[in-house]
Every structure is written in C-alpha cells, then in structure tokens.
C-alpha cells in the first residue's frame, strides 16, 4: 500500500469502481498520480474536475493523517494491489480499493466460506449453523468462516468457528476500532484473540449511515468461493447478499427448512428457484466447492465410540431417547429430554462431535 492508494479514498468523485478502473489502467496509484491531466481524463473518460483533483493531490494530506490514525489503533491498511488482499475479492469490479484490518491478515486468505442468515435466528437455525461449521472444521484444513458480526446467524457462525478452533473474519459496517453492534465488542475481541480478523472499508472520517450495511454485504459475498444462507425469511439482507454472491459467480448454498417456518421461506425459495444448492450436511458444502477432505477425518471415523457414562446429564437424556428406536426426530428429543431448545441444540452438537449420534435427513438423528 502506498500513500497514493489511500489518497484515492479521500478524492471527491472517486468510488470503488472508479478507483479500480484507474488502477487497472495505470498499473498502480503511484503511476496514476504521476500522470498528466489529459492522460488521466482519457484513460476512462474521467470528468475533468475529478482528474484535476488527482493531479492536485487532493487526498494526499488526509491520507497521511489516516496512516497515523491506523498506526495508533493497530489497524492494517491493505490495497487491492497488495499480496495480502483476499484473492476472491480482488476478482470483482466493485471491490473496495482499500481494506482496514485488525487482527490476523492471513485469516483473509485461507479456505474461506461466507455464512449468513437472519438476525432473528431460531434455535434450530442456530443449531444448524453450529453443526455445519463444527463438521466442516473436522473435514477441512485452513478453514476460515466469514460473516458480518450481526445478531442472529452471523454471531452464531463466528461463535461456532471459535468453538471449533477455526479462524473467523468479521466484516463490519463501522469505523475501526469501533464495532457495530457495540454489544458484540466482546465477540470481536474473542475473534481477534483466536487469530481471526475484523475488516472494514470505512476510513476514520466516514460519515456513518445505514447505506454501509448493503455495501458491507458485497464484501462478504465476494470474499469467499461460496456462501451459505443458513436461515432467512422471505426478504432481508441475507437474500441480498446471496444475490450479490450469485452475480459474482460464487457458489450459493442454502439450508432448507420446514415449509411452515417463516424463517425458512427465503432459504427455501433460493433452493426452489435454482439460485442456491441445497445443503444438508457439511460434506455437501465440501463437494459443491470442490474442496479436499483432510485425511484426519477418515482416521477420526475409525476411532472407538464414547463411553455413555462419561457424557453430561443433558447428553445422557438425549441418548436415552433412543431406547426404543435407533433413530428419532427433533420433536421426540424435545419431548423426551425435557431440555430447553437451546440446551438441546448444544447437547446434540456435542454428541455429534463425540461421534455418539449423527444427523439424518428430515431433522432426524441416529444413535451410532
């Protein structure tokens, strides 16, 4: 990143697409700022007043101030021409030319998967999110989960990644080091401590408004090879993100839900319309993205089962529900165990990780 790269952010009339076109024409921001007025105007038919601002170095002083601000707040500045810039994001024309990053920059360039969903997540949606990510963590090396640090499924995706020992990247519509929503500051700190990263395209002088949520979603959509919609009603930000991912040529996937569940209308419509591939297991994601399964997964499948006596009381209640049948559905587990939905979801996930039960189609579970 050069000071000229950053100066483009502070030059009036230059947005992400214009910055990208100029850099592609001149090869670098340094060459752009060293060029003559006529050359700049002719390069992409740029308006004369904007070209004059570049020649005059309008954004350079403010860029120097931003460098100092980022130094004081331990924020890394990455330009689209830098090696550390996420390669999938570099491929889209409306990419931000500059990313501001806290934490581990390497987390942006791992085997990334974007996971999104409704802010009004149900226990079942949260459970599905946890199950998919925990299972992926066992199957895939160098995994990094990308989401938006919002309420609901976003937060569930980050927490599932943390619990599974994989990196996670939060793309936020706020000025770093601030976090939106502020109540997720603790979660953001956990992400940083675990080797993940917080990403924003907003410089410190940005006047915040609601429009940055939509802009943020395009980064989530473009940063990974694929995007999974875990749970979504008939409209909302998750579906807009899925549309963006589809327009970028990403693999869009969705977890189906019951036809009477309002929080699954959007996910089900994505599948029905053919815009998203149906995801029932983590292996579906691996196959859709063409990822290789780590050898340790096959070894884990050969390990002996877990001693039932070593399970927690909640886990034992679930296991006892299989006394009359080797497979039971979700409602039967709720009725038999007497656990709350949240307790049941967490206990089921732990049992799956321990190899005691496995998920079947139709919200059924089988005792191994």
Q: How confident is the model at residue 340 (pLDDT cuts 50, 70, 90)?
A: confident
Q: What is the pLDDT of residue 312?
A: 85
Counting residues of the chain whose pLDDT is more than 70, the rounded percentage is: 94
Rounded distance between C-alpha atoms, residue 294 and residue 145, angstroms: 17
Most distant pair of Cα atoms in the chain: their distance: 82
Q: What is the pLDDT of residue 342?
A: 81
- Evaluate whether the domain defined by 304-367 bears CATH number 1.10.10.10: yes
Span 3-72: which CATH code? 1.10.150
Once rounded to an integer, what is the mean pLDDT over residues 300-306?
45
The pTM for the full model equals: 0.80
Q: What is the pLDDT of residue 227?
A: 98
pLDDT (tens digit per residue) in 150-202: 999 999 999 999 999 999 999 999 999 999 889 999 999 999 999 999 999 99
pLDDT, greater one: 197 or 261: 197
Once rounded to an integer, what is the mean pLDDT over residues 199-220?
89
Q: What is the pLDDT of residue 297?
A: 43
Q: How confident is the model at residue 236 (pLDDT cuts 50, 70, 90)?
A: confident
Q: Which residues contact 291 (CB under 8 A, 6 or more apart)?
A: 111, 140, 285
Rounded distance between C-alpha atoms, residue 50 and residue 312, angstroms: 66
Fold of 105-295: Rossmann fold (3.40.50)
Q: What is the pLDDT of residue 353?
A: 74
C-alpha dihedral over 58, 60, 66, 72, to 10 degrees?
-150
Q: What is the pLDDT of residue 20?
A: 93
pLDDT, greater one: 275 or 312: 275
Counting residues of the chain whose pLDDT is more than 90, the rounded percentage is: 71
Once rounded to an integer, what is the mean pLDDT over residues 12-19?
93
Q: How confident is the model at residue 295 (pLDDT cuts 50, 70, 90)?
A: low
* pLDDT at position 304 over 60: no
Once rounded to an integer, what is the mean pLDDT over residues 272-277?
95
* pLDDT at position 239 over 90: yes
pLDDT (tens digit per residue) in 82-131: 999 999 999 999 999 999 999 999 999 999 999 999 999 998 899 899 99
Q: What is the pLDDT of residue 324?
A: 66
Q: Element (H or E) spanning 78, and its range?
A: strand 76-79
Q: What is the pLDDT of residue 348?
A: 86
C-alpha dihedral over 122, 155, 168, 224, to 10 degrees?
60
Least confident range from 2-16, 187-201, 212-226, 347-361: namely 347-361
Least confident range from 165-179, 182-196, 251-265, 287-301: namely 287-301
Least confident range from 39-48, 126-135, 353-362: namely 353-362
Q: What is the pLDDT of residue 296?
A: 53
Instruction: Delimit the domains of the chain by residue range.
Output: 3-72, 105-295, 304-367
Q: What is the pLDDT of residue 305?
A: 47
246, 233 in Cβ contact below 8 A?
no
Q: Which residues contact 36 (CB under 8 A, 6 or more apart)?
A: 55
């Amino acid at each position: 990143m050069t000071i000229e790269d950053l100066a483009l952010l502070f030059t009036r009339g230059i947005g992400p697409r214009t910055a990208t076109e100029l850099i592609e024409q001149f090869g670098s921001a340094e060459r752009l700022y060293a060029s003559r007025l006529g050359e700049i105007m002719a390069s992409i038919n740029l308006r004369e007043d904007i070209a004059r601002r570049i020649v005059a170095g309008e954004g350079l002083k403010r860029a120097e101030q931003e460098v100092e601000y980022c130094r004081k707040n331990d924020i890394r500045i990455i330009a689209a021409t830098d090696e550390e810039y996420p390669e999938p994001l570099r491929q889209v024309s409306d990419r931000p030319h500059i990313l501001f990053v806290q934490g581990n920059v390497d987390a942006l360039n791992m085997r990334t998967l974007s996971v999104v969903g409704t802010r009004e997540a149900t226990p079942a949606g949260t459970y599905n999110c946890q199950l998919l990510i925990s299972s992926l963590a066992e199957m895939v090396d160098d995994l990094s989960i990308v989401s938006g640090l919002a309420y609901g499924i976003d937060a569930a995706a980050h927490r599932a990644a943390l619990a599974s020992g994989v990196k996670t990247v939060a793309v936020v519509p706020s000025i770093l080091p601030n976090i939106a929503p502020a109540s997720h500051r603790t979660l953001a700190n956990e992400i940083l401590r675990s080797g993940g990263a917080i990403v924003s395209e907003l410089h410190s002088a940005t006047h915040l408004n609601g429009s940055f949520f939509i802009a943020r979603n395009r980064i989530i959509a473009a940063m990974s090879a694929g995007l999974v919609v875990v749970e979504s009603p008939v409209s909302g930000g998750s579906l807009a993100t899925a549309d963006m991912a589809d327009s970028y040529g990403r693999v869009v996937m969705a977890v189906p839900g019951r036809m009477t569940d309002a929080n699954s209308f959007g996910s089900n419509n994505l599948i029905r319309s053919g815009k998203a591939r149906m995801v029932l297991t983590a292996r579906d994601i691996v196959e859709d993205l063409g990822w290789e399964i780590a050898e340790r997964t096959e070894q884990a499948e050969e390990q002996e089962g877990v001693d039932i006596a070593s399970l927690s009381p909640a886990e034992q209640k679930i296991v006892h529900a299989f006394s009359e049948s080797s497979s039971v559905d979700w409602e039967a587990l709720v009725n038999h165990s007497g656990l709350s939905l949240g307790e049941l979801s967490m206990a089921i996930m732990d049992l799956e990780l321990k190899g005691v039960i496995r998920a079947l189609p139709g919200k059924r579970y089988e005792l191994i």
